[in-house]
Amino acid sequence: MEETLIEEGGDVNREIEVAPALISVHPLEKSVAVAIGSQLRVYDLQGDCNVNLVDDSGGNLHSGSIRAICYGSKGRLFSSAGDDKLVKIWSTDSWHCTRTVCSEKRVSAVAISPDGLFVSYADKFGVVWVVALDGTSSEANDKAAPLFAHYCSIITSLEFAPDGRFIVSADRDFKIRVTVFPNKPISGAHEIQSFCLGHTEFVSCMAFVSTPEYPQGFLLSGSGDSTVRLWDVTSGSLLDTCEVAAEAGLLESNEKEDMFSPAVTDICASPDGSVVAVAIQRQVPQHFLLPLCVITNKVVSMGEIFIPTSLGLSSSPEHLWMITGASNLPALDDPSFARVRVISGLLKESPDSGQDDPILLEDSKIPGGERLLEKLQGSVSIVKEEQTLAAAAEAVKTAMCNLLIKRQYSSEKRELRKRSRNDRKQKQ
């Protein structure tokens, strides 16, 4: 019975691939970008208006689900990539697409180097590619060069160190690899600085924080083992571990839930590390403040049904932007659904003064107001919000599982699959 269940589940997943909605905020909060399915929606907070994306790189717009978006190089550049195997690079002052790179495989993660000269992306084979952006967009330059690879493990997150020395990649095999980013990356990055090993489940997300005393930065990583860990990337040593479930008080409240300790699905941090926000799969976001590695936290529960699929934070972390939603939702009128929410009051004047807890802003109070919501969500108010959210929550859960967790088969199931293999035995 179990076997048939697995089989059915697998088939359904293959037919409709639900893609979680993504959000990213300009480092100076000049704009907010949302990706839902193949749509990229951007709202200009500075000018308080919608942004019309213009693609003059000659390529098509995204035709498949967007899986990764990011701002880079102090917000000058923006990149989006996904299942249509296109990596698009946008200039954020005009929102023109300046470059479209074709990948051989679907793209799972993308990052822009701090100096804005290179864009790096990871594909479904675990290979990380690099594209040079040095203005001269000649034909030969349009192709990406392989940089390095994880052995056949899907890379979930790709980040550059703040000083640009390292490129860090995390995968579903609980590995974090720190690679020296060479001067001439087109010929590959061969020197591995370290591996950050300690997670016992897939690593889903990473973020760098740096302090004036330590400008090269510390790495934060979130994982399916329900921890957030702090690393020194130069040596690969684990500095601190935060059991998110315990911090959020989830474990005591609900003993049954123990077995499903919540997975950390996204993390974002202000560059100075004063605010670190974490989204977890079961209940949701909490954010905690991190002064000098001593983690104190504040949990903001969003209730059972708002499960952020992605988080965004600017460098002066006034607002924490959250989105939940997915494309290709089966049982809904509007197949792509997104809901944006904002938490404010994350920064306190002094740690002791603090009664002003973070608050979840009303729709009318968020920067950009309803016009922003109309752009980013597709509509201001969502009819039957409760039901829609609940349905979306389920779909999002499976979508995230498909993204992050490897398929598991029981041993009987494995035997069965082996027996029905059709590739054996042409004798040579």
Residues that bind other proteins (CB under 8 A): 125, 127, 146, 148-149, 151-153, 173-175, 177, 179, 182-184, 187-192, 194-195, 197-200, 236, 406-407, 411
Q: Which SS3 state, helix, strand or coil, does residue 199 take?
A: coil
| Closest CA relative to residue 139, chosen from 110, 112, 101, 95 | 101
| Rounded CA separation 34/349 (Å) | 30
Token pair 């790709």 in the structure block, residue: 158
Give least dist CB 182 to other proteins, A: 5
* Integer CA distances (angstroms), 133 to 130, 149, 255, 398, in order: 10, 21, 52, 36
Q: Which is nearer to other proteins, 14 or 184 (CB)?
A: 184
Of the pair 238, 251, the CB lying nearest other proteins is at 238
> Which H or E run includes 415?
helix 411-419
Whether 229 contacts 199, CB under 8 Å: yes
Pick between residue 353 and residue 420 the one whose CB is nearest to other proteins: 420
| Shortest spacing between CB 399 and other proteins, in angstroms | 20
Tokens representing residue 68 in the block = 């990764």
Tell me how far, at minimum, the Cβ of 252 lies from other proteins, in Å.
Answer: 25
Which CB atom, from 256 or from 418, has the smaller least distance to other proteins? Answer: 418
Query: Could you please report the per-residue DSSP string of 307-370?
Result: --SEEEE-SS-SEEEEEEEESS-TT-SSSSEEEEEEEE----SSSSS-----EEPPGGGSTTHH
Which of 157, 27, 162 is CA-nearest to residue 92? 27
Which lies closer to other proteins via its Cβ, residue 32 or residue 189? 189
Q: How far is the CB of 222 from other proteins (least distance, A)?
A: 17
Residue whose structure tokens are 């499903």: 260
C-alpha dihedral, 49 to 52 to 57 to 59, nearest 10° = 140
**Rounded least distance, CB 401 to other proteins, Å:** 15
Beta carbons of 199 and 225 less than 8 angstroms apart: yes
Q: Which is nearer to other proteins, 179 or 328 (CB)?
A: 179
Q: Which is nearer to other proteins, 152 or 331 (CB)?
A: 152
Write down the least CB distance from residue 229 to other proteins, Å. 12
User: C-alpha distances in angstroms, 404 versus 18, 71, 400?
Assistant: 13, 23, 6
CB of 427 to other proteins, least distance (A): 12
Min dist CB 409 to other proteins, Å, is 9
d(CA 402, CA 412): 22
Dihedral angle, C-alpha 419, 422, 423, 427, nearest 10 °: 90
Minimum distance, C-beta of residue 198 to other proteins, in the bound complex (Å)? 6
C-alpha 72 chain-centroid distance: 14
Whichever of 175 and 282 has its CB closer to other proteins, that residue is 175
Q: Which is nearer to other proteins, 71 or 174 (CB)?
A: 174
